[in-house]
Amino acid sequence: MRTRTAITAVLLALAATTAACSSSDKPDLAACKAAMEKQFKEAKNSEQGKRPDACDGVDAKTMSQYTQEIFDDQTTK
């Protein structure tokens, strides 16, 4: 149960943080999700995660969607 709580905390922290995009370039969504997955794997049972640099400019709705997908994928294994 503690692992699940820690996983949820890390992923919610990632989704909760938002960053404004000052550039007209669109963020690389695949790179963002890959960075989130990597951070998740490295941060199990660890402290709260931070928004990966690859996710700069990604909106909160997309971050939340990725968080849910990663969480679902990891909890069904």
What is the tens place of the pLDDT at every residue in 32-74? Answer: 999 999 988 887 666 677 889 999 999 999 999 999 999 898 8
Can you tell me whether residue 26 is helix, strand or coil?
coil
Domain residue ranges of the chain, discontinuous segments joined by +? 2-75
Q: What per-residue confidence (pLDDT) applies to 21?
A: 43
Rg, C-alpha atoms of the chain: 12
Instruction: Write out pLDDT tens, residues 9-23.
Output: 666 665 555 444 445
Alpha helices in 1-77 (DSSP H): 2-16, 29-42, 60-75
Residue whose C-alpha is closest to residue 39's, from 77, 68, 65, 67 = 67
Q: What's this model's pTM, rounded to 2 decimal places?
A: 0.63
> Predicted confidence band at 24 (pLDDT cuts at 50, 70, 90)?
low
Asked whether 7 and 52 are in contact (CB, 8 A), the reply is no
Say how far apart CA 14 and CA 42 lie, in whole Å: 14
The distance of Cα 24 from the centroid of its chain, to the nearest Å, equals 22
